[in-house]
Structure formats: structure tokens, C-alpha cells
């Protein structure tokens, strides 16, 4: 692929993720604080959406596998519709009245979530189609992951200040204006870069026949290489989700350094550097060595955050350094996992004779969501075991328990992931 095509692919991912991060991260605040819907009602809508999304992933993948249109076309169709619905949902206000507002919110939320699923699966499924070598997979994965992390950094660091700036004393107005500006910005990026994305054939053209959903699920179940990939990916992703879930409780309640929770968002820059470094390191290192480095840095970073937090929690520089080491390792992992998925899809195709990029991509996304759900459950259960009391100073025993749970459990997950990665690499060679 040319440099222009690589930049086009990564830029489309950036525009997609910028809109998705804003939506997923701000929708709860918008519905509860801007248009004053009940938190219980909003929580129920979002929970139902997550359940629906889990099943919809596989349905979308099955549809894309059998479609005669290319993934590129489906991406732009889903993006165009999502653009309109994105503006629609953040244009809602309390003047609509509760009887109209609740069904409108449900409808727009579910439709927008469905379109984001189509965008996400079609986008990541393009990677193994556009890249036909280990070098091109590394370059595409690295570029896409860097801009994905950049989109997250923008959302986590600037959205709240912009909301207050654009809507002083009026959160609803702030959301109306910011969502409009963001949607126009994303639309401009997509319009400028989409034409440079290479054309790709439909997935169905590479298979001899169409398959039903049940047949496709059986194909995935029989894929040995994907099973080995999922095992190592799941445990590393779980470590990632687990620590993220505990961050706010560790910084605010365990070591009483609330300021560092805001500062932690900027360690995404280290994650971006790790993502950028992957393709450079591949010139002189094997995949196994890079994964070992990723695991090592993640563990060292977490051990550092734990030990410094217990001995000198006011040392923001050392805390930031250790967090950055962990994030650099995470950046290497994210690119590695993305590139290895493309490799897994290729091996699966050779072994089974079936080309299933959308199905395997959706299955990976589903595993990622499952890891997030387990981390959320583990957080609730772990805080209960630690005897955590909301909005209060915690006992010494509780602060120690939160610290141990926040770091040593994910370290165990990383070690398990590394063990499974060795088996994956041995099989894939």
C-alpha cells in the first residue's frame, strides 16, 4: 500500500472513533444532566443497548460475509446514516416532553449503536483484505491504532472544557453545538480521505457459496488458530479493562491523589508512541520479542504505580513515568493484536478454505466487550470484598485491598496471556 492509502485508512478510523468515543462517553451525561431523564431509566436503556449490541455484532458480521457489496461501501453507507442520527440524538431537549422524548431516545440510541457496529466491523475487516504481507499489516495496524488513541485522547481531555465553553450555564446548548462541530469536522475528514482508500472486493466473492448464521458460527467454532488467538487476546484485554475500571478508585480513594486521575488521561500519548514504535521494532525484533516487551513494560508499569503509590504518592513525575511505561506496553499490544488478527484470518482461510474477516473481527470485538463486562463485575465484587464505602474516607485495610486488586490481578492476567501467546505463535509459524 502507498503512504497515502495507509493515511486514508487510519484517518477514516480516527473519524469513526472520534464520533464513537464522544457518543459512548458522553451519552449518559447528556441524557441525565442535559435533558433531565431519570438515571435509572437511562441506565436501563444503555444496558439493554449493550445486550442488543452483543447479538447484533454476529448478525452484522454474517450479513457482511454474504453481501455482494464491498466493506468500503458498507462503511460509507453506515457512516452517512450515523452522521445524521448523531446530530439527531444530541439535538433532543426537554421541550419534546417525556412521552415523546423517551421513545425517541430509545429509537435513536439503538439505531445509532447498530450503525456504529456496522462501521466498526466493516472498518477492521478491511485490514486483512487491504494488507497482503506482514509488513503492510504492521503499518496499517500501527497507523490505525495511533489515530484511534489520538481520538480517545481528544475526547477524554477536551470534551468537558469545550462543553462548558460552548454552553456556559446551559449544558444542553453545549452538547448541541459541540456535537454539530464534531460531526462537521468528522465529515470533512471522511470526505477528504475516503476516495484514497483502495477498492476491495466483496467478502462473498472469495467464498464459493453463502452461509447461514448457524453455519458461520460452526466455522468459527472449528477454527483452531482463532481459538488460540482469542485465549491470549482475552486475558491481555482483561488486564487492560481491569486496571482501567479500578483507576478512579485507586487514585481517589486508595492513595488520595485525585489530580492524577485527570493527568492519567495524557499517558495515552505514551500509548500512541508504543503504537507508532511497533512497525519500527518489527524491523529488528520478532513478534514474540515485541509481545514479551509489551508484557514486561505493562507489568513494570503496574508494579511501579503500586509501589510508588504506597511509598510516595505525591511524586507525580514518577507516577506519570510508570503509567507511561504501562501505556507504552499497551500500545504495543494493541497493534500486535490487530496485526495478529489479520494473520489469524489468513491462516484460517488457508486451513478451512473459508474467508471470514467480518465474522472473526466481530468475534474479537465480542470477546473485548466480554472482558469489559467481567472487569465491571470484578470491580463491583472486589470493592464489596474490600468493604468500600462510597464518598467516604476508606479504612487502611480497604485502601490496601483496592491497591492489590487494581494491579496484581491484571498482572496475573498478563502472565496467563503470555503463556497462551507462546502457544499461538508456535501454532501459527
Full pLDDT tens readout for the chain, 429 residues = 788 889 999 999 999 999 999 998 888 888 888 888 887 888 888 878 877 887 788 888 888 888 888 889 999 999 999 999 999 999 998 788 878 999 999 999 999 999 999 999 999 988 888 887 778 888 889 999 999 889 988 887 788 889 889 988 888 999 999 999 999 999 999 999 999 988 776 666 666 667 787 888 888 888 899 999 999 999 999 999 899 888 878 888 888 887 787 677 788 899 999 999 998 999 899 999 999 999 999 999 999 999 999 999 889 899 999 999 999 999 999 999 998 998 999 899 888 888 888 889 888 988 888 888 888 888 888 888 999 887 788 899 999 999 999 999 999 999 999 999 999 988 776
C-alpha–C-alpha distance, residues 155 and 15, integer Å:
12
C-alpha–C-alpha distance, residues 37 and 102, integer Å:
8
Burial 174-187, CB ≥16 within 10 A → b, else e: bbbbbbeebbeebe
Gyration radius of the chain over CA positions: 22
Nearest Cα neighbor of 359 from 208, 239, 240, 207 is: 207
- Decide: 151 and 17 in contact? Cβ < 8 Å: yes
CA distances from residue 123 to 30, 54, 109 in whole angstroms, order as listed? 27, 18, 21
Residues 6+ apart with CB under 8 A from 17: 147, 148, 151, 152
C-alpha–C-alpha distance, residues 230 and 359, integer Å:
13
CA-based end-to-end distance of the chain: 24
CA distances from residue 235 to 19, 27, 370, 378, 412 in whole angstroms, order as listed? 28, 29, 11, 14, 9
Predicted model pTM: 0.81
C-alpha–C-alpha distance, residues 206 and 127, integer Å:
15
C-alpha–C-alpha distance, residues 179 and 85, integer Å:
11
- Decide: 410 and 302 in contact? Cβ < 8 Å: yes
What are the DSSP E strand ranges found in 35-165?
none
The string of DSSP codes covering 182-203 is HHHHHHHHHHHHGGGSPP---G
Domains contained in the chain, CATH given: 3-195 (1.20.1250.20), 213-426 (1.20.1250.20)
Burial 400-419, CB ≥16 within 10 A → b, else e: ebbbebbbebbbebbebbbe
CA distances from residue 344 to 48, 66, 109, 157, 226 in whole angstroms, order as listed? 32, 20, 33, 35, 6
pLDDT of 71:
87
The string of DSSP codes covering 233-293 is HHHHHHHHHHHHHHHHHIIIIIS--HHHHHHHGGGHHHHHHHHHHHHHHTTTS-HHHHHHH
pLDDT of 206:
67
- Decide: 247 and 327 in contact? Cβ < 8 Å: no
Residue located via cell numbers 472513533: 17
For residue 337, give the H/E element and its range: helix 316-352
Nearest Cα neighbor of 28 from 52, 47, 7 is: 47
pLDDT of 209:
66
Amino acid at each position: 500500500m502507498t503512504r497515502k492509502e495507509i493515511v486514508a485508512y487510519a484517518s477514516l478510523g480516527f473519524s469513526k472513533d472520534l464520533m464513537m468515543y464522544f457518543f459512548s462517553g458522553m451519552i449518559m451525561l447528556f441524557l441525565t444532566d442535559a435533558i433531565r431523564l431519570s438515571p435509572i431509566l437511562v441506565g436501563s436503556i444503555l444496558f439493554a443497548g449493550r445486550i442488543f449490541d452483543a447479538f447484533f455484532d454476529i448478525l452484522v458480521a454474517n450479513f457482511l460475509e454474504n453481501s455482494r457489496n464491498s466493506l468500503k461501501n458498507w462503511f460509507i453507507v453506515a457512516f452517512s446514516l450515523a452522521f445524521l442520527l448523531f446530530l439527531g440524538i444530541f439535538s433532543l431537549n426537554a421541550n419534546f416532553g417525556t412521552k415523546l422524548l423517551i421513545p425517541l431516545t430509545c429509537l435513536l440510541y439503538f439505531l445509532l449503536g447498530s450503525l456504529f457496529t456496522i462501521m466498526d466491523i466493516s472498518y477492521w475487516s478491511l485490514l486483512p483484505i487491504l494488507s497482503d504481507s506482514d509488513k503492510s499489516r504492521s503499518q496499517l495496524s500501527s497507523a490505525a491504532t495511533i489515530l484511534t488513541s489520538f481520538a480517545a485522547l481528544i475526547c477524554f481531555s477536551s470534551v468537558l472544557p469545550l462543553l462548558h465553553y460552548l454552553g456556559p450555564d446551559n449544558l444542553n446548548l453545549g452538547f448541541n453545538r459541540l456535537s454539530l462541530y464534531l460531526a462537521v469536522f468528522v465529515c470533512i475528514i471522511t470526505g477528504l480521505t475516503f476516495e484514497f482508500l483502495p477498492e476491495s472486493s466483496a467478502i462473498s466473492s472469495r467464498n464459493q457459496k453463502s452461509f447461514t448464521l448457524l453455519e458461520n458460527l460452526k466455522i468459527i467454532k472449528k477454527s483452531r488458530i482463532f481459538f488460540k488467538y482469542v485465549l491470549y487476546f482475552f486475558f491481555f484485554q482483561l488486564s487492560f479493562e481491569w486496571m482501567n475500571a479500578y483507576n478512579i478508585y485507586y487514585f481517589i480513594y486508595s492513595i488520595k491523589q485525585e489530580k492524577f486521575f485527570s493527568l492519567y488521561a495524557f499517558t495515552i500519548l505514551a500509548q500512541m508512541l508504543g503504537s507508532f514504535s511497533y512497525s519500527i521494532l518489527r524491523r529488528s525484533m520478532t513478534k514474540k520479542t515485541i509481545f514479551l516487551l509489551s508484557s514486561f513494560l505493562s507489568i513494570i508499569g503496574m508494579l511501579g504505580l503500586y509501589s510508588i503509590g504506597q511509598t510516595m504518592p505525591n511524586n507525580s513525575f514518577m507516577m506519570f513515568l510508570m503509567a507511561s511505561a504501562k501505556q507504552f506496553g499497551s500500545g504495543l499490544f494493541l497493534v500486535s493484536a490487530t496485526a495478529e488478527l489479520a494473520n489469524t484470518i489468513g491462516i484460517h482461510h488457508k486451513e478451512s478454505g473459508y474467508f471470514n474477516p467480518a465474522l472473526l473481527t466481530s468475534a474479537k470485538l465480542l470477546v473485548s466487550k466480554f472482558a469489559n463486562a467481567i472487569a465491571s463485575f470484578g470491580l463491583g465484587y472486589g470493592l464489596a470484598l474490600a468493604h468500600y464505602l462510597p464518598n467516604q474516607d476508606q479504612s487502611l485495610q480497604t485502601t490496601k485491598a483496592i491497591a492489590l486488586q487494581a494491579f496484581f490481578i491484571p498482572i496475573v492476567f498478563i502472565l496467563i496471556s503470555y503463556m497462551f501467546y507462546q502457544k499461538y505463535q508456535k501454532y501459527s509459524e
